[in-house]
Amino acid sequence: MGENMSKRLKLVTGSESEMEERSFINPFPDREHREHREQGLSGTPSAAEHSGANEPLDAGGKISDAFQKKVQSKIKDLLQQMEEGLKTADPHDFSTYTGWTGIALLYLQLYRVTQEASHLQRALDYVKRALRNLNGRRVTFLCGDGGPLAVGAVVHHHLKNQTESQECLTKLLQLQRSVLSPDSDIPDELLYGRAGYLYALLYVSKEIGPDAVDETTIAKVVTAILESGKNLSKEEKKEERCPLLYEWHKKQYVGAAHGLAGIYYMLLQPSAKVSQDTLNELLRPSVDYVRHKKFRSGNYPSSLSNETDRLVHWCHGAPGVLHMLIMAHKVFRDEKYLRDAAECGEVIWQRGLLRKGYGLCHGTAGNGYAFLSLYHATQDKKYLYRACKFAEWCLDYGTHGCRIPDRPYSLFEGMAGAIHYLSDVIQPEGSCFPAFEL
């Protein structure tokens, strides 16, 4: 028994130190704690009132002017560093994930929040660079030709270059052949698969208008994803428990990047127009199947066969699954989904300041977007506060001794993603995780 005990102890400390290896201990007090503490000290009901310039939210729960200014000046500073760093970036990487389209998307976001024409011009320059480098290998928004074509269509649309915009759209729609072909070996996940092509279509519909992509094309892509999921579920004899099952490289991933959560999230989009019957009969039980894989911590495994509670990333774990849960809550109007999403929020608050860096895919900015989505879903200022605190962490970019990613200035691995997050935090009402949320 003694031996058992010490073994168990070893296991516990082993996993704890591993967790510490993956994330920093969150140094920020939570909002309620801070208020209680200050209430106790000062006897006044509002902590924010006298806590002054260091707090991101003012007494009314709005982003304070001081915080706003701090973030804006950091955005300027980081943009300069990014531009300098991009001079030595791979000239042929056109992707949204690590290449030029991601940078174009950042400038499109800065144009959206500031309305400065120079940002739109930069978006154009970068997306043109991407469009010159298409290789016809993949179709998705994040890693394939779909991204530059969709962003190109949107940038040209903003600039009223209708011919160029239409040209991009036509090419984007031509990619559907390989997505729909029954004997293509394209996967279904977000980074390389059908869901990533579906996102490109839904993105241009949202940004340009519902006529940009015909409904039948969207319906065909949705059907192809549904058929693929039904087939694997049948093969694995899981039709009852999980009627839509997907795998990537022979593994049934759970998270947003390669897994079920990312695919279900796209299918749950109102603009995907999945029928009510399909939502109820196929998607709802599948979402519930993922829900039941939840760890006691509130986190989720990276794949169905993985039992260890390790990763708290947008790509693998709670920060990605949360978006699926919030969408399921919107579609099925069942509070249990929002409760699970709130649990994700707790894990992310505890373990979300990542040693991997500040990016979107597996970094602090990507995890911060979880709080912004929780804030949208609940209007609870606690989540806005947490989002601001993760932004505050990003204000000290590069000082925590994080790992330097391979593409340190890119949208999904590096600095561009953190800038995107910072620009969303100070205008939280319209915030949107790029290349993912709609």
CB of 357 to Zn ion, least distance (A): 10
CB atoms within 10 A of CB 26: 17
Q: How many residues bind Zn ion (CB under 5 A)?
A: 3
Spatial separation of the C-alpha atoms in residues 224 and 248, rounded to whole Å: 16
* Stretch near Zn ion under the rule CB under 5 A, chosen from 108-116, 182-190, 310-318, 371-379: 310-318
CB of 315 to Zn ion, least distance (A): 3
Cα separations in angstroms, 58 against 63, 64, 220, 435: 6, 5, 48, 31
* Stretch near Zn ion under the rule CB under 5 A, chosen from 83-91, 104-112, 238-246, 308-316: 308-316
Binding residue per annotation — 242?
A: no
* Stretch near Zn ion under the rule CB under 5 A, chosen from 73-81, 191-199, 235-243, 313-321: 313-321
Based on CB atoms, which residue is closest to Zn ion, 205 or 303?
303
Residues 304-324 as b or e (16 or more Cβ within 10 Å = b): bebeebbbbbbbbbbbbbbbb
Our finding on whether 315 is near Zn ion (CB under 5 A) is yes
CB of 367 to Zn ion, least distance (A): 11
Which residues, in sequence order, are bridge partners of residue 303? 253
* Stretch near Zn ion under the rule CB under 5 A, chosen from 30-38, 146-154, 167-175, 311-319: 311-319
Spatial separation of the C-alpha atoms in residues 141 and 193, rounded to whole Å: 9
CB of 408 to Zn ion, least distance (A): 15
CB of 20 to Zn ion, least distance (A): 20
Cα separations in angstroms, 416 against 22, 65, 374: 22, 24, 23
Q: Which of 189, 86, 92 is nearest to 135 (CA)?
A: 92
CB 286 within 8 A of CB 243: yes
With a CB cutoff of 8 Å and minimum separation 6, the contacts of 216 are: none
CB of 313 to Zn ion, least distance (A): 5
Spatial separation of the C-alpha atoms in residues 44 and 61, rounded to whole Å: 16
Which residues, in sequence order, are bridge partners of residue 248? 251
Spatial separation of the C-alpha atoms in residues 227 and 245, rounded to whole Å: 10
CB of 45 to Zn ion, least distance (A): 42
Binding residue per annotation — 344?
A: no
Our finding on whether 310 is near Zn ion (CB under 5 A) is no
Based on CB atoms, which residue is closest to Zn ion, 228 or 367?
367
The rounded Cα 131 to chain-centroid distance in angstroms is: 24
Binding residue per annotation — 400?
A: no
CB of 15 to Zn ion, least distance (A): 21
Residue number, nearest CB to Zn ion: 315
Based on CB atoms, which residue is closest to Zn ion, 244 or 361?
361
* Stretch near Zn ion under the rule CB under 5 A, chosen from 68-76, 181-189, 315-323, 338-346: 315-323
CB of 91 to Zn ion, least distance (A): 24
* Binding residues for Zn ion restricted to 39-68, rule: CB under 5 A: none
Residues 8-18 as b or e (16 or more Cβ within 10 Å = b): eeeeeeeeeee
Based on CB atoms, which residue is closest to Zn ion, 103 or 142?
142
Dig out the tokens for 58 from the structure: 């003012």
Based on CB atoms, which residue is closest to Zn ion, 152 or 357?
357
Our finding on whether 411 is near Zn ion (CB under 5 A) is no
* Binding residues for Zn ion restricted to 334-393, rule: CB under 5 A: 361-362
Based on CB atoms, which residue is closest to Zn ion, 255 or 298?
255
Spatial separation of the C-alpha atoms in residues 109 and 159, rounded to whole Å: 15
Based on CB atoms, which residue is closest to Zn ion, 212 or 315?
315
Spatial separation of the C-alpha atoms in residues 426 and 134, rounded to whole Å: 34
CB 370 within 8 A of CB 320: no
Based on CB atoms, which residue is closest to Zn ion, 106 or 377?
106
CB atoms within 10 A of CB 2: 6
Based on CB atoms, which residue is closest to Zn ion, 153 or 365?
365
CB 347 within 8 A of CB 297: yes
> Residue ranges for the binding site?
315, 361-362
Residues within the annotated binding site for Zn(2+)?
315, 361-362
Binding residues vs Zn ion (CB under 5 A): 315, 361-362
